[in-house]
Chains A and B, each alone.
Chain A
């Protein structure tokens, strides 16, 4: 079964608004990563947050991690039409050497 579950499954916002996506997972992890996938393309790595970190920023992206609640959130500020894509969280489980992907959030940014 999938390790992570994203919420919501789909999100539609106006350009300029902020978008927040959430990810929940089940087991202890070494790190959690977020990826973007444009339609018909491969996944692009966005950001990695380690289990001992609580927040990380990269440009317009802000990721938080709460290991006590086994959850993470991805915030995209000042969204653009080009941000339209599916976003996946992926967890690197403790003791495993590969990533387990969630079900994804489909983000649509309306110009």
Chain B
């Protein structure tokens, strides 16, 4: 089966600019996650979708980050305006049903550098 697709792979922007990341999960996976991974750390959950509804966005900095999953398939994560501390790898993952079985399938991520 095809994996989780993410684009772009790399992005360099100046602070205060905006940026958007795209994710296409594995077909049939109802649950989609966006994680932020700062260099040298483990991934931190930003937002979780179940179909096109938000399940958990408690750690999403809502003043600058937004995400949507229209039609319950693809998802976009946006940062506006970006700060230097947003430099990180943004990982998208999907799973069939929550955390109970089989684990998550991750995309290769988008490496964001804010200068």
Interface residues of A (CB under 8 A from B): 2, 4, 30-31, 33, 35, 40-45, 48, 88, 92, 96-104
> If A45-B104, A45-B105 touch, does A99 touch B4 (CB 8 Å cutoff)?
no
**Cβ of B71 to closest chain A Cβ, rounded Å:** 21
Let me know if B103 and A98 touch, CB within 8 A. Answer: no
Q: Are A42 and B45 in contact (CB under 8 A)?
A: no
Interface centre among B41, B48, B101, B104 (most CB of A within 10 A): B104
B104: which A residues are within 8 A, CB to CB?
43, 45, 99
Instruction: Report which of A31, A41, A88, A92 forms a contact with B42, defined as CB distance below 8 A.
Output: A88
The residue in chain B whose Cβ has the minimal distance to the Cβ of A44 is B106
**Are A33 and B103 interface neighbours, CB within 8 A?**
yes
Judged by a CB distance under 8 angstroms, whether B56 is at the interface is yes
| Residue from A42, A43, A92 within 8 A of B99 (CB atoms) | A92
Chain B 80-115 near chain A by CB (<8 Å), digits 1 or 0: 000000000001010000111111111111010000
Query: Can you report 14 A-B residue pairs in the complex whose CB atoms are below 8 A from each other?
Result: A2-B42, A31-B99, A42-B4, A42-B108, A43-B43, A88-B42, A92-B99, A97-B99, A98-B55, A98-B99, A99-B45, A99-B99, A101-B42, A101-B44
Additional A-B contacts beyond A41-B108, A45-B102 (7; CB < 8 A):
A30-B99, A42-B4, A45-B105, A92-B100, A99-B104, A100-B45, A101-B35
Contact in complex: B100, A103 (CB < 8 Å): no
| B107 partner residues in chain A, CB cutoff 8 A | 42
Q: Which residues of B contact A92 (CB under 8 A)?
A: 98-100
List residues of chain A with CB within 8 A of the CB of B33.
Answer: 98
Determine the chain B residues whose CB is within 8 A of the CB of A104 once the complex forms. Answer: 41-42
